[in-house]
Structure 1
Amino acid sequence: MEKAMLDLTPQSIENTLPDPAGVEAVEGQQESPGGGVVVDASPQNEDFHPQMSSTPEREDREKKAEKRFKRLQAEKHELRKLNIHLRKQLAKMRKEKERARKSEMRAKERLRHIERVKPKGGKKLAKERKLAVVSFLTRDENSRLLPGKKDTITKNKIKEQRRILTKPLTELHVLYNSEMKKSLHLSYRQFARRRPFYVTEPKAKDRDTCACMDHENVHLLANKLYSRGLLKTKSISELLVMIVCDPKNKDCMDRVCAKCCFEEVEFPETESSSEVTWEQWKRVTSTNGERMFGNMVKQIYNGTIKELMELFSQKLESLAIHQFNWLHQAEQFRYLKQNITECEAVLHVDFSENYACKLSTEVQAFHFGGSRQQATIHTAVLYTVHGTKSYATLSDSLRHDERAVWAHLEPILGELRETFPQITTLHIQSDGPVTQYRNKNNFYLLSTVPFLSGFTKVTWNFSEKSHGKGAPDGIGGAIKREADRFVQRGGELQAPQQLYEMLNTRLGSSITHYWVNRESIEKYDELIPDNLEAVKGTFKIHQVWSSQPSQITHRTVSCFCRKTERSPCPCYKPVTVDLRVKRTVCNTENPPSSPPQQPREQENLDLCGKFVIVIYDEKPYVGQVLEDVGEEVQVNCMLQSGDKNLFVWPQTVDLIFYYRKDVHAVISEPEPATSRFSKLTLQDWVKFRNTSA
């Protein structure tokens, strides 16, 4: 039975049992005298080597095996998940491939259909649409050019002067589709996408400081009525359509059409006695003792709804002809530039704001004092069949009258005749200030000076008041921007001559610069006769035509339907005036007892804006007419420095109404003599001295 039992004792334990002989030897050892057992240092069995237990090693192996098992289980789980994910991706890719194949088939089918039905020249049509939108949005009646030197925008390294829209883009889109042919019609999204990058919506910083008072007053009334639900629209164009047959017909807009002259805007029924307030721009005259002052203020009025509606109808009716003149002149200018012939040239001119010369470092007395010099800048854009060219003429003379205008035009016309001798017809465009362009002296110079240069026909076309912004304004901004950049880099521009020299040294500029000295301006003073008669209705003239020296033909709006002919067309009732001086022939048989009285030119002339010599307490004074009311004129007078030819504007404005009979003579604008004083021309000074005597 004992032999049949298994020996379960581990081998490691068996190896550790001591030898019996060794045990007996230990037992037979003697005790030491101290009571301890003396053990022999050398063992009896020298081959005995005790072994360590194997239980910890097995546990380590088991732990390692368990960890490896868990790791393999985790890897198996991850591989299973990856397999499922790859199967899903494969199925998804198969679906996408099938979807792409079907989409490709549909695209090919659609392309084949388009190729069958689309008209030829698709790319050409797209280009025409793009050009049509750009041309439409850059019209002066649809967008306004900002003249500031900082009003630029750059895209893809292309810098352009900014233009801001004058109407909402939705309204312009409707107007575009109504004007263009059907093949150029666009949806609003396509229309907005083709808008040039430099034509933008107005921003808060684009505050309009040159707004038209007539339009602004009607806008204020329309906004008030619209807010009360009495108008369905605030658009002036849509409101004018309600009261006229055809907004492009002058008789309708002038309110003389037999069909629509009594039409008015219809208002819904409302409580007409309700109180309401509205605003209007108005010139207010205030007095301080004997002195009178004229200021523009935005005044608040109180009244009833009925009074507001009556005022709106009256203002809208008077605005109709102003709106027609503005849009008609812009359309004629555009037609003229788009239909130039080989023998024609169009010159668009305007005075830019004077540039104040600057230094990189200025002392306080120079910066705030009167030592800073100013440069006059007259800008022009020339249009010919060969292209467009920009000009800027600079001068240290601050005169902006008609004589200075022709002195600034002289080098440009000389270059034009030298470069293109085949051009014999000149069309000039400008705004219409009476102190610069629209006056009898300019009409006379227009009918004489160009013929001396070889031109056979010349016209001068004026834009409607408060709507004269155009391409020349951008030239002035570019010049001032370049000058400021030069000063910021450490340059010195102390005098106008230095500004001109700096601009001429700039490379790559597309603007041609000329210098105009004072002598060139003064020589035109001698060309104008003293007793030149005024042209009746000067303020309403928008076109002056001359094909014979000293003879002009004028009319209320421009027309170029026969611009290639020598004589003007009969449209809009042109009037011919002979500007040659009328001499009085004395009767030698019966001589008069007294010398003949010279005709007083100021009796029939609208003096508003003119400089005159007036008599007050039997003393002459130089001043500028601010308002012309019947038999009285309001004059802002200057102070004379002793008996010298020096005049200065007083700190307190000297504004008084005079009778027309007290206006002794009309003179040109005084030219600067010093930083504070101005002086009269030699002829005007003689008139002033004779009046004093």
Structure 2
Amino acid sequence: MVLTPAEKQKRYRENLVKRGLYEFTKVKHAARMKVYRRKLTGLIRTKYLAAHADAQRRYKGKMVSNPNKSSPTIQTVAKATKKVKQVLPKDPIKKKLVIQAMAESVGLLPQPFAPRVSRTLPLKVKEAILHYYERDDISYQMPGKRDTIVVKEYAGKKTYQKRILLYNLREIHHMFLQDNPGIDVSRSVFAQLRPQHIMVKSSMSHRVCLCLYHQNVSLLIDALSKFINGPACSDLHTFTKILVCDESNEQCMFSNCNYCSNNFKLHVESKIIDETVKLKWFQWNNNRGHAEKKEQEGTVKECVQCLSQQIKKYLNHVFIKRQQSKFFEQMKDNSDDKSIVIQVDYADNFAIEEQDAIQSAHWSTKTISIFTAHAWCGPLNFSFALPSNNVTHNKYCTNTCLDYIISEVKQYLPDLKRIMFFSDGAASQFKQRFLFRNLIRLSIDYNLCLSWSFFATSHGKGVVDGIGGIIKRIVWKEIMTKKQCKTASDFVLLAKSKTNTIILHEITQAAIDASEQKLQQIFNDTKSVRDTQKLHHVTVVGEDIIECRLYSESTCCWKVRF
């Protein structure tokens, strides 16, 4: 029997209740309609309000039961009943079925409802999906003090730092099913479970800090998508998958596999529709230290050749990126009070401004640096924000911050044996021979097993960026109420008055000078480390020896003695 639109909506709501998504969908729809109503103006707004009022009146009218104005007489009912009996089947069973169907059709009996067989997602699966959305290799945390969103929850409103998905929902759903072969969930349900503070890429008004390798290849396949048959250039994820036999195999991703060495020719070069067609494409290039996006023009064949030249570096970069992200997630899950994971980074310098400042004050703004860190210790987590008036971000500042963080963590975790540091690959701050040498000293001084892993280039975003954004937003709001913030000390006082979940401590110039005096001779005698820019993992293995690896779980390694 064909259902009316109202009955279809009723069934849809019942299915949402069974799957546990009714309240979530209701809140999401209410928020969407609120945004829609806010944007209405003029005549459209007037028509919408009139239609809404009319719908409310009709709904209230249905709720009021109106008695029939006229009722059929006994004679009329008797005649109609006689006519119906004459056409009913003689068989009592069939007669009963016909009468029952007629009663259901006019509403005297409820219509039989065969409930649709649907699955209710287990709580563990929902938690796994939410955790997957928040992984740093799936979405990255926005660092700005204004990059926040207020979410209405059952316990009230809560402010979250925004996260941006690195892929579209179709790609993320496909990746989730690949990483979790025992879970079967539809894309629609997977999309409905996306938290509100995790935004899709299209919601970003201005995207910055993207990866050079990914972006250049993406620009090329976007330009070639109309001139190549097949799905090879449809999107970046499909393009990567087609190039190799196995995306998790080091030999394939390092272009050392004999079986997939011709995949580019097979799936791209041989599928060119017309290689003489002229087209334009963009590429990012470094011009005297400045990144520029330049337009290039040529034939389809020339564009494919440009893409072919970048394949080896691109696949190498993708493999390192995925391996480091995978290792990072594994180490976080396996952390406890004896073996912990710490991610560190420098936040963007905070500009010290004042409310109601004069015009000339705009050109003499001072800044302070903020060293951020987050420690995963099993069930415990610690967040650090260490502001300083010194904005050089040099090796002595970094050492002072690391000394403070390690000493603080050891006070909370007396049984601590191992610390695994993670950071981006900034050569001026972390990925340098001085940090490698200092790692040995820290290991000896604190009697700890220390290692340092670097994320792939431009893929070091994480929770530390959120810490920087949160702490700057807290202080900024205080400044807007005419509170004074002129130094790092004032910054710490204002932040401590509003939060106790982040450990705040000022890194003074005296502490940095003491660190320089202590380490200057050691750093003067430090020799260079082979393939510093290529390595992504360093472990202290002796009093003056480190072990270097191309990526954290690589079987190939080399040792360096200082």
In 2, Cα distance between equivalents of 1:252 and 1:360: 57
Alignment partner of 1:524 is 2:515: yes
Cα distance per residue 1:55-78 (max 9 Å; x no partner):
xxxxxxxxxxxxxxxxxxxxxxx9
Shift of 1:363: 1.9
Indicate how the Cα distance of structure 1 residues 269 and 536 shifts in structure 2: closer, same or farther if over 3 A, else same.
closer
Q: How does 1:160-179 map to 2 (within 5 A)?
A: 160-179=160-179
Q: How does 1:78-117 map to 2 (within 5 A)?
A: 81-83=69-71, 95-99=106-110, 102-103=112-113, 106=114
Q: What is aligned with 1:623?
A: none
In 2, Cα distance between equivalents of 1:400 and 1:324: 30
Q: Aligned letter for 1:573?
A: C
Indicate how the Cα distance of structure 1 residues 81 and 93 shifts in structure 2: closer, same or farther if over 3 A, else same.
farther
SS in 2 for 1:207: coil
Shift of 1:529: 3.4
Q: Aligned letter for 1:495?
A: T
In 1, Cα distance between equivalents of 2:372 and 2:67: 81
Shift of 1:213: 1.4
Q: Aligned letter for 2:191?
A: A
Indicate how the Cα distance of structure 1 residues 95 and 346 shifts in structure 2: closer, same or farther if over 3 A, else same.
same
Q: Aligned letter for 2:109?
A: E
SS in 2 for 1:532: coil
Q: 2:462 aligns with which of 454, 465, 470?
A: 470
Q: Aligned letter for 2:129?
A: V
Cα distance per residue 1:188-243 (max 9 Å; x no partner):
12111222222221245442210111111111110011033445243222212222
Indicate how the Cα distance of structure 1 residues 80 and 270 shifts in structure 2: closer, same or farther if over 3 A, else same.
closer
Q: What is aligned with 1:243?
A: 243
Shift of 1:478: 0.5
Q: 1:432 aligns with which of 412, 415, 425?
A: 425
Q: What is aligned with 2:256?
A: 256
Q: What is aligned with 2:190?
A: 191
Q: What is aligned with 2:34?
A: none
Alignment partner of 1:572 is 2:560: no
Shift of 1:408: 1.1
Alignment partner of 1:337 is 2:332: yes
Residues 352 and 476 in structure 1, CA contact (< 8 A), matched pair in contact too:
yes
Indicate how the Cα distance of structure 1 residues 395 and 271 shifts in structure 2: closer, same or farther if over 3 A, else same.
same
In 1, Cα distance between equivalents of 2:507 and 2:243: 50
Indicate how the Cα distance of structure 1 residues 271 and 80 shifts in structure 2: closer, same or farther if over 3 A, else same.
closer
SS in 1 for 2:386: strand
Q: What is aligned with 2:274?
A: 271
Identity among equivalent pairs (%): 24
In 1, Cα distance between equivalents of 2:462 and 2:109: 59
Q: What is aligned with 1:200?
A: 199
Residues 228 and 273 in structure 2, CA contact (< 8 A), matched pair in contact too:
no
Shift of 1:95: 4.1
Shift of 1:445: 0.5
Q: What is aligned with 1:512?
A: 503
Q: Aligned letter for 1:314?
A: Q
Indicate how the Cα distance of structure 1 residues 318 and 482 shifts in structure 2: closer, same or farther if over 3 A, else same.
same
Q: What is aligned with 2:379?
A: 386
Unpaired runs of 5+ residues, structure 2, are 1-65, 78-101
Shift of 1:485: 0.6
In 2, Cα distance between equivalents of 1:147 and 1:504: 20
Larger Rg: 1
Q: Aligned letter for 2:176?
A: Y
Computed over aligned residues only, the root mean square deviation of the Cα atoms, in angstroms, reads: 2.6
Size of the aligned set, in residue pairs, is 460
Alignment partner of 1:552 is 2:535: no
SS in 2 for 1:255: coil
Alignment partner of 1:282 is 2:285: yes
Alignment partner of 1:145 is 2:164: no
Q: 2:475 aligns with which of 483, 490, 500?
A: 483
SS in 1 for 2:427: coil
Indicate how the Cα distance of structure 1 residues 84 and 553 shifts in structure 2: closer, same or farther if over 3 A, else same.
farther
Q: What is aligned with 1:223?
A: 222
Indicate how the Cα distance of structure 1 residues 558 and 80 shifts in structure 2: closer, same or farther if over 3 A, else same.
closer
Shift of 1:436: 0.3
Alignment partner of 1:534 is 2:528: yes
In 2, Cα distance between equivalents of 1:220 and 1:269: 17
Cα distance per residue 1:527-549 (max 9 Å; x no partner):
23313210010001100001322
Q: What is aligned with 2:293?
A: 298
Q: Aligned letter for 1:501?
A: L
Q: Aligned letter for 2:469?
A: G
Cα distance per residue 1:165-188 (max 9 Å; x no partner):
111111221222222133x21011
Indicate how the Cα distance of structure 1 residues 332 and 99 shifts in structure 2: closer, same or farther if over 3 A, else same.
same
Residues 149 and 478 in structure 1, CA contact (< 8 A), matched pair in contact too:
yes
Indicate how the Cα distance of structure 1 residues 501 and 84 shifts in structure 2: closer, same or farther if over 3 A, else same.
farther
Residues 388 and 508 in structure 2, CA contact (< 8 A), matched pair in contact too:
yes
In 1, Cα distance between equivalents of 2:123 and 2:552: 32
Higher relative contact order (CA 8 A, sep 6+): 2
Indicate how the Cα distance of structure 1 residues 273 and 489 shifts in structure 2: closer, same or farther if over 3 A, else same.
same
Residues 225 and 231 in structure 1, CA contact (< 8 A), matched pair in contact too:
no
Residues 374 and 496 in structure 1, CA contact (< 8 A), matched pair in contact too:
no
In 2, Cα distance between equivalents of 1:81 and 1:237: 68
In 2, Cα distance between equivalents of 1:135 and 1:504: 30
Shift of 1:262: 4.0
Q: How does 1:28-107 map to 2 (within 5 A)?
A: 81-83=69-71, 95-99=106-110, 102-103=112-113, 106=114
Unpaired runs of 5+ residues, structure 1, are 1-77, 286-293, 560-570, 580-693
Q: How does 1:126-141 map to 2 (within 5 A)?
A: 126-141=122-137
Indicate how the Cα distance of structure 1 residues 205 and 181 shifts in structure 2: closer, same or farther if over 3 A, else same.
closer
Shift of 1:550: 2.2
Indicate how the Cα distance of structure 1 residues 93 and 241 shifts in structure 2: closer, same or farther if over 3 A, else same.
closer
Q: What is aligned with 1:30?
A: none
Q: Aligned letter for 2:285?
A: K
In 2, Cα distance between equivalents of 1:480 and 1:277: 42
Cα distance per residue 1:18-67 (max 9 Å; x no partner):
xxxxxxxxxxxxxxxxxxxxxxxxxxxxxxxxxxxxxxxxxxxxxxxxxx
SS in 2 for 1:99: coil
Alignment partner of 1:458 is 2:454: no
SS in 2 for 1:558: coil
In 1, Cα distance between equivalents of 2:436 and 2:67: 97
Shift of 1:255: 0.8
In 2, Cα distance between equivalents of 1:80 and 1:175: 61
Alignment partner of 1:325 is 2:317: no
Q: What is aligned with 1:313?
A: 308
